[in-house]
């Protein structure tokens, strides 16, 4: 019988008074999380316990749970008007801390936005610098050079604003012949061109590139790969193709 009585005693739930006492001790030790659990237990069994609501509101304030703190503190005042002064103090503290936390978040978000803006500006500046360098390469004075004949494979470097990087877009290939003819390898008819070795400029007379506006085309020799830099002008701006051919 004694063992049964001891088991029943061990399993018996704590009384609201015991929970409240334990909660006060935890609150005094600044163990706000566990103290809140004790006061919540009192609130469940004795929802009209004004002091439990007040102390619960204090714990919620310390834990940064400001909306719940306001609810508990308001209820404490409704249950016992004599607690209004203490409840108002905690309500004011909750308001102050919430505004401070909100201001800190806003500042952190503003700083993060500024960092993102600086990074985007740096990427844009780099892209613009690369574009200037490409323009210089296209327009710089060059020495005379004999033309390399063969198949030139073309691509277009497109700036992707969303990913903040260049992507290479294939533009097909064309065959350049020593007899002054060429053919874009997409089934197009052959065309004719002339080449000035002193300026390294090709002039498209007929065929695909002539019909595409006779884009400015500059030859750049290389030990392994020679290149034709082709500039297309349109209402949307300049599009530049890089066309490479294995040097012979």
Q: Which CATH number fits domain 141-246: 3.40.50, 1.20.120, 2.40.128, 2.170.270?
A: 2.40.128
The three-class DSSP label of residue 190 is coil
Is residue 134 pLDDT above 70, yes or no?
Answer: no
**From CA 63, how far away is CA 41, in angstroms rounded?**
17
Model confidence band, residue 2 (pLDDT cutoffs 50, 70, 90) = very low
DSSP 17-54: HHHHHHHHHHHHTT-HHHHHHHHHHHHHH-TT-HHHHH
Percent above pLDDT 70 for the chain: 78
CA angle (79 as vertex; 51, 39 as ends), nearest 5: 30
Question: Where are the domains positioned within the chain?
Answer: 11-136, 141-246
Q: Can you read off the two tokens belonging to residue 169? A: 């877009």
Q: Under CATH, what is the fold of the domain 11-136?
A: 1.25.40
Residue 7 has pLDDT above 50, yes or no: no
Q: What is the mean pLDDT of the chain?
A: 83
Reported as a single tens digit per residue, the pLDDT across 192-240 is 999 999 999 999 999 999 999 999 999 999 888 999 999 998 777 788 9
Tell me the per-residue pLDDT of 136-165, one tens digit each, with 9 for 90 and over.
555 555 567 899 999 999 998 877 777 777
For the chain, how many residues are written? Answer: 248
Enumerate helices (H) and strands (E) in the chain, giving the number of each: 7, 8
What pLDDT does residue 49 have? 92
Mean pLDDT for the stretch of residues 170-175: 92
Task: Scan for tokens 């960092």, then name that residue.
Answer: 115
Q: Tell me phi and psi for residue 6, to 5 degrees.
A: -65, -40
pLDDT one-digit tens code per residue, 82-123: 988 888 888 888 888 888 776 666 666 666 666 676 666 666
Record the pTM. 0.42
């Amino acid at each position: 019988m004694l063992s049964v009585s001891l088991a029943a005693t061990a399993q018996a739930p704590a009384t609201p008074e015991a929970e409240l006492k334990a909660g006060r001790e935890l609150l005094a030790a600044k163990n706000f999380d566990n103290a809140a659990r004790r006061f919540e237990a009192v609130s469940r069994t004795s929802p009209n316990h004004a002091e439990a609501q007040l102390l619960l509101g204090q714990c919620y304030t310390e834990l940064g749970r400001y909306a719940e703190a306001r609810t508990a503190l308001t209820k404490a005042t409704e249950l016992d008007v004599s607690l209004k002064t203490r409840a108002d103090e905690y309500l004011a503290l909750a308001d102050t801390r919430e505004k401070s936390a909100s201001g800190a978040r806003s500042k952190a978000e503003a700083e993060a936005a500024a960092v993102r803006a600086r990074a985007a500006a740096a990427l844009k500046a780099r892209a613009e610098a690369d574009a200037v360098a490409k323009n210089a390469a296209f327009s710089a004075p060059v020495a005379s050079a004999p033309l390399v004949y063969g198949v030139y494979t073309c691509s277009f470097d497109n700036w992707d604003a969303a990913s903040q990087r260049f992507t290479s877009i294939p533009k097909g290939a064309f065959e350049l012949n020593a007899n002054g003819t060429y053919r874009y390898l997409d089934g197009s008819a052959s065309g004719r061109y002339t080449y000035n070795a002193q300026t390294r400029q090709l002039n498209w007379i007929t065929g695909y590139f002539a019909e595409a506006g006779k884009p400015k085309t500059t030859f750049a020799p290389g030990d392994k790969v020679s290149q034709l830099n082709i500039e297309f002008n349109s209402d949307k701006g300049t599009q530049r193709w890089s066309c490479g051919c294995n040097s012979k």
